């Protein structure tokens, strides 16, 4: 294992192990692009591809304290993500209701693209909408909310704060704890079991 990958593992003690194994495998096969930070850097979605480099040095780590998201071209995103994940996370799509995996195990739901901690199983509830719903994120810093006027309807889009992946939408019709319903596409999440 290279010194750079070893260093990334030290930095990322809380990063999901399956994603670290993917990094190791891709680094060994030299599929990952190299830059000033080796395979590291913070990347955001854009029209140019799934992630582009963000040179804002004030926000170089993802909010869960894990390693930096990998630089990925549109082609690499298509290889790494399933077609469904790509359509939702990179192209702001929505999976059909009741079509995704509805997991009820304990743990933390992380971004399928970068591993950022997003939601806890403790705040998950059945909203009856057909999409996983949560009444609060892990922290206010783990997600980003933006106005969305697509389709001629005003909504609030939920994005991963670390990589800008589209996750779903937030509504003000949630349970009493917060009154919020974060309606999230299941393909945009991965469960890290406790």
Residue that terminates a domain, selected from 55, 90, 125 = 90
- The answer as to whether 25 is a domain residue is yes
Local confidence band at 18 (pLDDT 50, 70, 90 cut-offs): low
- The answer as to whether 153 is a domain residue is yes
Instruction: Determine the average pLDDT of the residues in 164-179.
Output: 96
**In terms of domains, do 57 and 21 share one?**
yes
Res 30: pLDDT: 42
151 Cβ contact list (under 8 Å, min separation 6)? none
The model scores a pTM over 0.85? no
> What is the percentage of the chain residues whose pLDDT exceeds 70?
63
- The answer as to whether 101 is a domain residue is no
**In terms of domains, do 15 and 57 share one?**
yes
Local confidence band at 34 (pLDDT 50, 70, 90 cut-offs): very low
**In terms of domains, do 183 and 116 share one?**
yes
Res 6: pLDDT: 45
If we measure between CA atoms, which residue out of 170, 71, 76, 154 comes closest to residue 119? Answer: 170
Query: Which residues form the domain of 40?
Result: 3-90
**In terms of domains, do 135 and 79 share one?**
no
- The answer as to whether 99 is a domain residue is no
Res 28: pLDDT: 47
Instruction: Give kind and range of the element (H or E) at residue 43.
Output: strand 43-46
CA distance 107 to 91: 27
- The answer as to whether 95 is a domain residue is no
Structure tokens at 176: 């009493």
Q: What is the DSSP string of 148-190?
A: E-GGG--EEEEEETTT--EEEEEES---TTTS-EEEE-GGGEE
Residue that terminates a domain, selected from 36, 56, 90 = 90
- The answer as to whether 100 is a domain residue is no
**In terms of domains, do 44 and 84 share one?**
yes
Local confidence band at 194 (pLDDT 50, 70, 90 cut-offs): confident
Q: Is the pLDDT of residue 33 over 60?
A: no
Q: What is the pLDDT of residues 79-121, one digit of tens each?
A: 889 999 999 999 999 999 999 877 788 999 999 998 999 999 9
- The answer as to whether 117 is a domain residue is yes
Residue that terminates a domain, selected from 63, 90, 117 = 90
- Counting the structural domains of the chain, the total is 2
CATH number of the CATH domain containing 138: 2.170.150.20
- The answer as to whether 125 is a domain residue is yes
Local confidence band at 22 (pLDDT 50, 70, 90 cut-offs): low
Active-site residue identified among 89, 114, 163, 183: 183
Is 183 labeled as catalytic in the residue annotation?
yes
Q: What is the pLDDT of residues 133-142, one digit of tens each?
A: 999 999 999 9
Q: Which residue has the higher pLDDT, 25 or 58?
A: 25
Q: Which residue has the higher pLDDT, 61 or 163?
A: 163
**In terms of domains, do 114 and 188 share one?**
yes
Q: Is the pLDDT of residue 51 over 50?
A: no
């Amino acid at each position: 294992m290279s010194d750079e990958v070893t260093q990334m593992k030290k930095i990322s003690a809380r990063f999901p192990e399956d994603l670290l194994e993917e990094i190791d495998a891709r680094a060994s096969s030299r599929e990952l692009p190299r830059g000033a930070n080796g395979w590291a850097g913070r990347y955001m979605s854009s029209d140019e591809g799934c992630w582009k480099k963000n040179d804002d040095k004030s926000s170089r780590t993802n909010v869960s304290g894990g390693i930096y998201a990998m630089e990925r071209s549109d082609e690499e995103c298509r290889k790494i993500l399933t077609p469904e994940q790509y359509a939702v996370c990179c192209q702001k799509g929505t999976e059909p209701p009741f079509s995704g995996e509805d997991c009820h195990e304990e743990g933390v739901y992380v971004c399928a693209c970068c591993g950022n901690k997003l939601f806890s199983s403790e705040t998950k509830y059945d909203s009856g909408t057909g999409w996983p719903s949560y009444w609060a994120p892990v922290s206010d810093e783990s997600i980003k909310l933006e106005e969305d006027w697509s389709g001629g309807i005003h909504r609030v889009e939920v994005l991963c704060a670390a990589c800008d992946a589209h996750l779903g939408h937030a509504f003000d019709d949630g349970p009493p704890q917060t009154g919020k319903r974060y309606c999230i596409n299941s393909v945009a999440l991965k469960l890290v079991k406790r």
